[in-house]
């Protein structure tokens, strides 16, 4: 059984999967002369394109976060291009070679690759900016193995921030179910609360790409917080006035932001009835940086539709408790737009 499971997991992915001092003495030695590190330690799982790149830039630039690893999952554009986008964003942030990037699964758990969202992000995922190849290369270790290794080595200390489909996280749970109890929490960019979908009327992109993976994660017992498409539409839209303000900053970060959002900005205005571009991945990371940015949330039981003809990938929220199951997710309902935009502008002013 174990052998067949390993073969199953391997087929779904692109890679392979002394003397002791008393504890009090070790603790005192570690802490002596050092200031306590209060940063939130995260693994950022991403299908890096335009909005993911902003989220990544915010995460690695925040003094409140320690990004321990970046893992690449199936999603927005070609898998190798997503990897290059993440590595190049690290280069823009001045972090090249400082944070490891691991490639994960290039396809969903059981489905064929869905295609890409180049219509939103451009053919390179960065609004056809065609940046040069990054200097840093991805690690040889598979993302799933890296997630398991890091979580096992740091039980209760790592938060997973999933701003793409949940394939890598689900594969890690299939390979090591006990990992669920060792994860501090998981933030997922996906779903919505009493709103509408962006890929079909009931579903949003990240859950729709791999609904089986999303269902495994939501049933795992990991403490989950969702930041949905609705929150991004209400509280993360950068208008023409915001873009004009970004353009005046004159920094490396602001120039990067303007370049990578050219196609996304037009798409959101013309096809999604917005006054500018929304940034769901960035507001998810913002909620990790500053949890008080979430001004309203609800705890509900959530399951994922995997067979619906019209609602594949929908995060089904049991609002009235008809399933009589304990809540398994905290759903962000409202967020502070002004504070989100301040976080973005504070990031874009850095360099």
232 within domain boundaries: yes
Q: Which residues are registered as beta bridge partners of 69? A: 43
* Cα 40 to chain centroid, rounded: 15
Structural domain of residue 101, as residue ranges? 2-16+39-348
Q: What CATH number did the domain enclosing 133 receive? A: 3.90.245.10
Cα–Cα distance measured from residue 203 to residue 79, given in angstroms and rounded to the nearest whole number:
23
Total domains, the chain: 1
What backbone phi and psi angles, to 5 degrees, belong to 331?
-105, 120
26 within domain boundaries: no
177 within domain boundaries: yes
166 within domain boundaries: yes
286 within domain boundaries: yes
Q: Check if the beta carbon of residue 268 is closer than 8 Å to that of residue 274.
A: yes
Which residue bears the tokens 């940086």? 289
Instruction: Give, in degrees to the nearest 5, the angle at Cα 70 between 349 and 334.
Output: 60
22 within domain boundaries: no
Structure-token pair, residue 223: 């403490």
74 within domain boundaries: yes
45 within domain boundaries: yes
Cα–Cα distance measured from residue 85 to residue 82, given in angstroms and rounded to the nearest whole number:
5
pLDDT tens for the chain, 351 residues long, are 444 444 444 544 444 333 333 444 444 444 556 678 899 999 999 999 999 999 999 999 999 999 999 999 999 999 999 999 999 999 999 999 999 999 999 999 999 888 788 999 999 999 999 999 999 999 999 999 999 999 999 999 999 999 999 999 999 999 999 999 999 999 999 999 999 999 999 999 999 999 999 999 999 999 999 999 999 999 999 999 999 999 999 999 999 999 999 999 999 999 988 999 999 999 999 999 999 999 999 999 999 999 999 999 999 999 999 999 999 999 999 999 999 999 999 999 997
């Amino acid at each position: 059984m174990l052998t067949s499971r390993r073969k199953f997991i391997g087929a779904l992915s692109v890679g392979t999967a002394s003397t002791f001092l008393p504890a009090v003495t070790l603790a005192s030695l570690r802490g002596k002369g050092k200031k306590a590190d209060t940063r939130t330690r995260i693994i950022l799982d991403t299908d890096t394109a335009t909005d993911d790149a902003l989220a990544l830039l915010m995460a690695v630039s925040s003094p409140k976060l320690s990004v321990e690893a970046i893992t690449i999952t199936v999603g927005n554009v070609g898998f190798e291009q997503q990897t290059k986008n993440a590595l190049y964003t690290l280069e823009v942030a001045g972090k090249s070679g400082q944070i490891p990037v691991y490639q994960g699964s290039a396809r969903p758990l059981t489905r064929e690759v869905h295609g890409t969202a180049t219509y939103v992000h451009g053919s390179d995922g960065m609004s056809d900016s065609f940046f040069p190849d990054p200097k840093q290369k991805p690690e040889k270790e598979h993302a799933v193995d890296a997630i398991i290794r890091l979580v096992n080595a740091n039980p209760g200390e790592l938060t997973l921030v999933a701003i793409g489909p949940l394939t890598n996280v689900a594969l890690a749970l299939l390979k090591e179910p006990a990992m669920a109890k060792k994860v501090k929490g998981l933030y997922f960019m996906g779903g919505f609360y009493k709103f509408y979908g962006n890929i079909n009327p009931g579903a949003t992109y990240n859950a729709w790409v791999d609904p089986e993976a999303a269902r495994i994660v939501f049933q795992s017992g990991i403490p989950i917080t969702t930041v949905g498409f609705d929150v991004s539409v209400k509280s993360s839209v950068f208008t023409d006035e915001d873009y004009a303000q970004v353009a005046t900053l004159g920094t490396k970060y602001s120039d990067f932001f303007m370049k990578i959002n050219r196609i996304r900005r037009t798409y959101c205005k013309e096809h999604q009835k917005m006054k500018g571009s929304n940034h769901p991945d960035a507001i998810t990371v913002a909620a990790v940086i500053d949890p008080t940015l979430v001004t309203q949330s609800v705890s509900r039981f959530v399951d994922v539709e995997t067979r619906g003809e019209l609602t594949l990938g929908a995060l089904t929220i049991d609002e009235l408790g008809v399933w009589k199951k304990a809540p398994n997710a905290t759903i962000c309902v409202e967020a502070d737009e002004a504070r989100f935009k301040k976080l973005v502008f504070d990031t874009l002013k850095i360099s």
